[in-house]
């Protein structure tokens, strides 16, 4: 275990994903906790005013639906779970919209499934939507689309979704608000010698041995899902804090650098993690050739690759594939994630972004490869 809570991790975080569990959102199943949701929304709005970007991943749709339908026990039939989610999602979205609006902040409901994040094109579309909302100063409120997907209800949990969203938007930190103070070396309710874990490295195998089993009857998670979520978030360089959701001003105090809950530190920095993955990608489905001016801009100015600087497209690739960027003499200048499929790239080759809508029927990113998704070759 590590000894010191690194206050700079949250204090310096510019993009933060906050995940809150069902038992907190619904006050142990008694219905949406208006006061608690209002408090989290107040804190998030203050963080946004500070210049941070915040995304909320909220559980609670099924639990709220159960309350509205008068059910006291979580059903096992998938169609009943889907019905509860459909009913509860209405109240959940309305509550966040109301409370965020009261604090001067716009909101957007985004329903995702694991399939959305597994499919390359849907992954990039979801990413573009979320980044656009953040740029517009709107706070996205994300939940799993439980009304249409079986597996997410049966096996999924929003701790995992929170980590996947952190990966999706390249967040600096993931904050998991729960009904526990954080991680203990053992279950403190059963073992009086259990010690609180203030800080550790995400992915440490010892953490999984410490974590307990399933969570409450309302949710599907437990401490183990939070440990695994932290491990997943660390893959893109995001550190995770597990903290008690009813701790006064928890989000504000964490972002001021105060030691609250358990901090699980990502061993790799955000930029390094993403670019190392691109650099190590061996199977590239295609490449684009660029002119001398584009080579200079990429190497000297750290610019993105614009289609107007491309002279050719080789191979067949999809949006989101790793492609090589080559000079006219065939040398690899860089590699990165393609914003357009090969067929589209051929249409916009040597063209300015002002013509994309006419050529493609829609207008999206102006870059073929954004500099944040690019690694220069040595």
Give the least confident one: 102-111, 126-135, 138-147, 291-300. 138-147
DSSP 70: T
Q: What are the DSSP calls for 194-221, one per residue?
A: --EE-EEETT-HHHHHH--S---SS-S-
Q: What is the pLDDT of residues 346-364, one digit of tens each?
A: 999 999 999 999 999 998 8
Q: Is 197 exposed, middle or buried (0-12, 13-18, 19+ CB in 10 A)?
A: buried
Say how many Å lie between the first and final Cα of the chain, rounded: 37
For residues 194 and 39, the model is more confident at 39
Q: What is the pLDDT of residues 264-316, one digit of tens each?
A: 999 877 666 667 667 766 678 899 999 999 999 999 998 999 999 999 999 99
Residues 226 and 363 in one domain: no
Please report the pLDDT score of residue 276 as a whole number.
67
How far, CA to CA in Å, does 66 sit from each of 2, 32, 62, 72, 85? Answer: 42, 11, 6, 7, 8
2 within domain boundaries: no
Strands, E, within 145-204: which ranges? 173-178, 183-184, 196-197, 199-201
- Which residues carry a binding-site annotation? 19, 59, 146, 158, 178-179
Residues 262 and 318 in one domain: no
- Which residues carry a binding-site annotation for ATP? 19, 178-179
Greatest alpha-carbon pair distance for the chain in Å reads 70
CATH of the domain at 345: 2.30.130.10
Residues 187 and 246 in one domain: yes
Cα dihedral 116→118→124→127 (10° resolution): 60
**Among the listed residues 232, 327, 244, 247, the one whose alpha carbon sits nearest the alpha carbon of residue 287:** 327
Residues 100 and 249 in one domain: yes
**Among the listed residues 40, 2, 8, 36, the one whose alpha carbon sits nearest the alpha carbon of residue 259:** 8
Domain boundary among 205, 239, 271: 271
Residue 331 scores a pLDDT above 60:
yes
Residues 257 and 289 in one domain: no
What is the average pLDDT across 130-137?
Answer: 96
**Residue 62: CA count within 13 A, CB half-sphere:** 30
CA gap 284, 275 in Å, rounded = 15
Q: Which residues of 249-285 are buried (b: 16+ CB within 10 A; e: fewer)?
A: ebbebbbeebbbbbbbbbebebeebbbeebbebeeee
pTM of the model: 0.80
Domain boundary among 271, 293, 318: 271
Judging by DSSP bridges, how do beta strands 196-197 and 183-184 pair with one another?
A: antiparallel
Task: Give residue 322's domain range.
Answer: 281-376
State how many domains the chain has: 2
CA gap 331, 322 in Å, rounded = 16
- Which residues carry a binding-site annotation for substrate? 59, 146, 158
Show the tokens assigned to 297: 């801009």
Residues 14 and 74 in one domain: yes
Q: Confidence band (pLDDT; 50, 70, 90) for 151?
A: low
Residues 260 and 326 in one domain: no
208 within domain boundaries: yes
For residues 371 and 147, the model is more confident at 371
270 close to 173: Cβ distance less than 8 angstroms: no
Judging by DSSP bridges, how do beta strands 286-290 and 310-315 pair with one another?
A: antiparallel
């Amino acid at each position: 275990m590590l000894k010191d809570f690194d206050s700079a991790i949250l204090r310096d975080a510019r993009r933060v994903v906050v995940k809150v569990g069902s038992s907190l959102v619904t006050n142990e199943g008694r219905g949406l906790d208006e006061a608690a949701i209002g408090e989290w929304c107040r804190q998030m709005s203050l963080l946004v005013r500070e210049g941070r970007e915040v995304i909320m991943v909220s559980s609670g749709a099924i639990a709220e639906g159960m309350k509205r339908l008068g059910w006291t026990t979580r059903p096992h039939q998938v169609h009943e779970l889907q019905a509860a989610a459909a009913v509860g999602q209405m109240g959940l979205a309305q509550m966040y919209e109301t409370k965020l609006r009261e604090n001067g902040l716009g909101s957007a409901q985004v329903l995702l499934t694991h399939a959305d994040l597994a499919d390359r094109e849907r992954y990039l579309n979801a990413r573009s939507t979320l980044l656009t909302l953040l740029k517009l100063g709107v706070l996205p409120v994300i939940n799993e689309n439980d009304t249409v997907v079986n597996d997410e209800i049966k096996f999924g949990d929003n701790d995992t979704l929170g980590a996947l969203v952190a990966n999706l938007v390249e967040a600096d930190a993931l904050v998991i608000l729960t009904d526990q103070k954080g991680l203990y070396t053992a279950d403190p309710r059963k073992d009086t010698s259990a010690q609180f874990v203030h800080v550790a490295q995400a992915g440490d195998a010892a953490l999984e041995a410490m974590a307990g089993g399933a969570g409450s009857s309302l949710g599907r998670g437990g401490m183990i899902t939070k440990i695994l979520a932290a491990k997943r978030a660390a893959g893109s360089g995001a550190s995770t804090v597990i903290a008690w959701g009813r701790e006064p001003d928890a989000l504000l105090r964490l972002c001021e650098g105060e030691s609250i809950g358990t901090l699980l530190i990502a061993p790799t920095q955000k930029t390094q993690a993403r670019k190392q993955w691109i650099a190590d990608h061996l199977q590239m489905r295609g490449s684009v050739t660029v002119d001398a001016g584009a080579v200079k801009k990429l190497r000297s100015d750290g610019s993105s690759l614009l289609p107007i600087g491309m002279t050719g497209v080789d191979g067949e690739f999809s949006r989101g594939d790793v492609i090589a960027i080559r000079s006219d003499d065939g040398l690899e200048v860089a590699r990165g994630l393609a914003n357009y499929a090969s067929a589209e790239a051929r249409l916009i080759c040597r063209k300015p972004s002002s013509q994309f809508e006419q050529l493609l029927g829609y207008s999206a990113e102006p870059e073929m490869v954004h500099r944040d998704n690019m690694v220069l070759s040595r």
